[in-house]
């Protein structure tokens, strides 16, 4: 991680407005996409497909705050959960937890059509999770985090350091956290953004993934 990524304020990162740029899928510390792999320390564990001791699931209860647009998120959220933060299960959809509402339409967009500009009102979900690591885990080497899917885009911070941005709801996103993890308590902060700009077949516009199923904003 380079020094330009550390110590950035929330407003400085959001001023990039990455969700409004075309042909942008992952920055700046996202790992190259690859087929899914798993590793074990002995043959027997691999043959029996046991859960590897080199991996840990972060599924479960996270803190959650909802905003009508990214710019409304307070700077303090990067360091601490907001006083009115609720709890939400990950993976899940925030619409099914009482925020906003699922949308089903396979013909017209449920948002103002003014391409290539992304609407100002852009539902945003702020997730956070605190977890602990011991010296033994960190001594093993590199630690990466994998998101199996986030609709439509998200920013990731760890211990207040901006790690990166990714957009593509149907593909995993992977980031290297090795440089920002510490022994003891660590905090992840994930900001999910609904609407993003895309460049398709030479035409610039924005999408909320207009496919034939109810649209929700999940994190997995």
Burial status of residue 173 (CB atoms within 10 A of its CB: 0-12, 13-18, 19 or more):
buried
Q: Token pair of 6, please?
A: 């550390």
Supply the pLDDT for residue 141: 87
Supply the pLDDT for residue 213: 41
Is position 83 within any domain? yes
Question: Which of 127, 160, 142, 143 minimizes the C-alpha distance to 60?
Answer: 127
Is position 121 within any domain? yes
Dihedral, CA atoms, 68, 71, 73, 74, nearest 10 degrees?
A: -150
Q: What CATH number did the domain enclosing 13 receive?
A: 2.60.120.260
10-residue averages of pLDDT along the chain (220 residues): 56 89 66 77 86 87 95 96 95 86 67 72 93 93 89 91 86 91 97 71 42 50
Whether the Cβ atoms of residue 88 and residue 94 lie closer than 8 Å to each other: yes
Supply the pLDDT for residue 87: 96
Kindly report the pTM of this predicted structure: 0.82
Question: Which of 130, 131, 125 minimizes the C-alpha distance to 86?
Answer: 125
Whether the Cβ atoms of residue 82 and residue 29 lie closer than 8 Å to each other: no
Is position 162 within any domain? yes
Which residues are within 8 A (CB) of 27 and not within 5 positions of it... i.e. 6 or more apart? 18, 164, 165
Q: How many folded domains does the chain comprise? A: 1
Is position 118 within any domain? yes
Supply the pLDDT for residue 76: 96
Q: Domain residues for 148? A: 3-30+58-219
Is position 44 within any domain? no
**Helix (H), strand (E) at residue 136:** helix 135-139
d(CA 36, CA 27): 20
Is position 108 within any domain? yes
How far from 51 is each of 40, 48, 107, 220, CA to CA, in Å?
8, 9, 43, 18
């Amino acid at each position: 991680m380079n020094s330009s990524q550390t110590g950035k304020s929330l407003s400085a990162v959001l001023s990039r407005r990455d969700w409004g740029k075309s042909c942008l899928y992952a920055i700046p510390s996202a790992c190259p996409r690859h087929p899914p792999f798993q590793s074990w320390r002995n043959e027997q564990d691999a043959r029996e497909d046991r859960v590897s001791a080199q991996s840990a699931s972060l599924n479960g209860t996270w803190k959650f705050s909802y905003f009508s647009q990214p710019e409304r998120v307070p700077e303090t959220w990067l360091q601490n959960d907001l006083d009115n933060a609720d709890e939400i299960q990950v993976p899940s959809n925030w619409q099914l937890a009482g925020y906003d509402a699922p949308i089903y339409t396979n013909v017209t967009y449920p948002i103002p059509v003014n391409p290539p500009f992304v609407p100002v009102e852009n539902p945003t979900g702020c997730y956070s999770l605190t977890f602990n690591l011991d010296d033994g885990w960190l001594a093993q080497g590199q630690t990466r985090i994998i998101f199996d899917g986030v609709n439509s885009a998200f920013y990731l911070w760890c211990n207040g350091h901006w790690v990166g941005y990714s957009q593509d709801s149907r593909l995993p996103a992977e980031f290297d956290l090795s440089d920002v993890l510490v022994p003891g308590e660590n905090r992840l902060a994930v900001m999910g953004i609904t609407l993003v700009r895309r460049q398709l077949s030479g035409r610039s516009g924005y999408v909320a993934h207009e496919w034939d199923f109810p649209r929700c904003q999940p994190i997995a």
